[in-house]
Structure 1
Amino acid sequence: MSLCLPTYVVIDASSSMKPHEAVLNATLSRLHYNLATNPRVSEFARVSVIAFSTDVHVVIPMSDMEQVPNMPEVICGGRTDYGKTFDRLRECIEQDVSSLRAQHYSVLRPTVFFLTDGGPTDANWRKSFRELVDRNRPRYPHVIAYGFGGAERGVLQVVATKALFIADGTDTESALSGAISGLLNTLIASSQTGQMQIATDVKGFEYVQVAQEYVD
């Protein structure tokens, strides 16, 4: 059976990202192009793009990016609701892993790339997060977090279970581009080895060793 890495690109589309909306969409289009034109990666990584603010929108459901004609436009606005996002992710992972297994893939542990420029505006997000990454759930994901702009380092040190990247003061638009490049490089490296290989050298970001690293 073919190996498959369920990959979730989860991106902050709250009101603080509104000034950067055009760059966000251009950057996501670049990600789509690079994935769709790299057969090795598109065969290995099935990708879903999720935008979150006050509500959570599945921009692209779990797909082979070669089969996706273009990246839908993301509209920014609203609050930064982490809890709803983690709840929706848990639901998507359950459905997507079952679907991929039904297609006879050997499914690796899902990976979430979480990109945000701000802290959570909902008070009770930690409960939803604990449920998402509960080790008693067979399909819990790894989370790789990229924080820029007004992102809260202390919060992201909780959210990141596999790796954390904090922007080193570069502007939001450069940081967004750097984060997507780092994400893409991680998928390329992982597709070459058939297992998670995190690209730790990300332009404009400090790589932070995650405290709660576990044995897989």
Structure 2
Amino acid sequence: MPLCLPTYVVIDASSSMKEHEAVLNATLARLHYNLATNPRVSEFARVCVVAFSTDVHVVIPMSDMEQVPAMPEVICGGRTEYGKTFDRVRECIQQDVSNLKAQHLEVLRPAIFFLTDGGPTDAHWQDSFRKLVDRDWSRHPHVIAYGFGAAKRDVLEKVATKALFIADGSDTESALSGAITALLNTLIASSAAGTMNIPTNVNGFTYVPVTQEFVD
């Protein structure tokens, strides 16, 4: 059976990102273009794009990006709600993995690429996160986190289960572009390897080894 990596691009669209909204959308459009024009990668990495703030929006449901005509526009504004984001992504994973299996695909452990420029504004987000990465849930995902702007390393160290990248002083727009490039490179490397493969040399970011043991 063909291999498939369910991939979730979960990106901060809170008010702190408002001034970078145009660059955010241009960067997501570049991600879409690069995946849609690389059939080998788009067939291997089925992608869901989620934008979160006070509410959580599934911008693109789990798709072969070659079949998606364009990236919808993301509008920034609101708080940085981690908890409801993790709840929504868990719901998506539960449904998406079942749908992919029904397409006779061999489904790898899902991967979440979590991009944020700030800390959570909700106090109890870790309860939702624990449910998402609970090893007793057979579909628990890997989480690769990218922090830039005002994002806190100590918070993201609680989020990342597979890899963590912290911007090393680059401005938010350069860091956002670097994170999406790294995400794309990870999907290209993973499609070639047939398994999760995360290049750790990311321009503009410091790689932080992850010690959590949430995932296999």
TM-score (structure 1 length as normaliser): 0.99
- 1:28 — aligned with what? 28
The answer to whether structure 1 residue 120 and structure 2 residue 115 are counterparts is no
The answer to whether structure 1 residue 149 and structure 2 residue 149 are counterparts is yes
**Whole-angstrom CA distance in 2 between matches of 1:167 and 1:211:** 19
Kindly provide the amino acid, as one letter, of the partner of residue 76 in structure 1. C
Residue 213 of structure 1: how far off its partner (Å): 4.3
- 1:171 — aligned with what? 171
Q: Is the 8 A contact 1:4 1:106 kept in 2?
A: yes
Matches within 5 A, 1:75-154: 75-154=75-154
Residue 215 of structure 1: how far off its partner (Å): 6.7
- 1:55 — aligned with what? 55
- Render the CA deviation track for 1:96-150: whole Å, top value 9, x for unaligned: 0000001100000000000000000000000000000000000000000000000
**Whole-angstrom CA distance in 2 between matches of 1:213 and 1:168:** 26
What runs of 5+ residues in structure 2 fail to find an aligned partner? none
**Whole-angstrom CA distance in 1 between matches of 2:172 and 2:159:** 20
**Whole-angstrom CA distance in 1 between matches of 2:154 and 2:207:** 14
Residue 212 of structure 1: how far off its partner (Å): 1.1
Residue 206 of structure 1: how far off its partner (Å): 0.1
**Whole-angstrom CA distance in 1 between matches of 2:35 and 2:65:** 6
TM-score (structure 2 length as normaliser): 0.99
- 2:65 — aligned with what? 65
- Give the 3-state SS of the residue equivalent to 2:62 in structure 1: strand
**Whole-angstrom CA distance in 2 between matches of 1:115 and 1:184:** 13
- Give the 3-state SS of the residue equivalent to 2:158 in structure 1: helix
The answer to whether structure 1 residue 14 and structure 2 residue 28 are counterparts is no
- Give the 3-state SS of the residue equivalent to 2:7 in structure 1: strand
RMSD value over aligned CA atoms?
0.8
- Give the 3-state SS of the residue equivalent to 1:164 in structure 2: strand
- Render the CA deviation track for 1:188-210: whole Å, top value 9, x for unaligned: 00000100000111110000000
Q: Is the 8 A contact 2:7 2:45 kept in 1?
A: yes
**Whole-angstrom CA distance in 2 between matches of 1:133 and 1:166:** 21
What runs of 5+ residues in structure 1 fail to find an aligned partner? none
Residue 211 of structure 1: how far off its partner (Å): 1.3
Kindly provide the amino acid, as one letter, of the partner of residue 21 in structure 2. E
**Whole-angstrom CA distance in 1 between matches of 2:56 and 2:214:** 29
